[in-house]
Amino acid sequence: MTDPVTVETRVPVPPREAWRAYTDPAAIVRWNFATPEWCCPRAAVDLREGGRYTARMEARDGSSGFDL
């Protein structure tokens, strides 16, 4: 897939805090899940040009999962 993806959101925190939440893998795994039944066991962020943002999403019961 080569189509670009744009994500926009508003968060009621200072920019520094929002930046950390989206760029620190340790922070990402603490908030990046849709419901309590899901988790984000790992994330990686490479902010260099050509870098990647990846996150693993899994059902806590192990029934399914996918990579972003």
Closest CA to 24 of 55, 50, 68: 55
Provide the pLDDT confidence category of residue 1 given band limits of 50, 70 and 90. Answer: low
Closest CA to 18 of 8, 4, 33: 8
What is the tens place of the pLDDT at every residue in 16-39? Answer: 999 999 999 999 999 998 899 999
Provide the pLDDT confidence category of residue 7 given band limits of 50, 70 and 90. Answer: confident
Contact yes or no for 40/24 (Cβ under 8 A) = no
Token pair 């893998």: residue: 25
Please say if the pLDDT value at position 60 is more than 80.
yes
User: Could you tell me the domains of the chain?
Assistant: 15-67 (3.30.530.20)
Please say if the pLDDT value at position 42 is more than 70.
yes
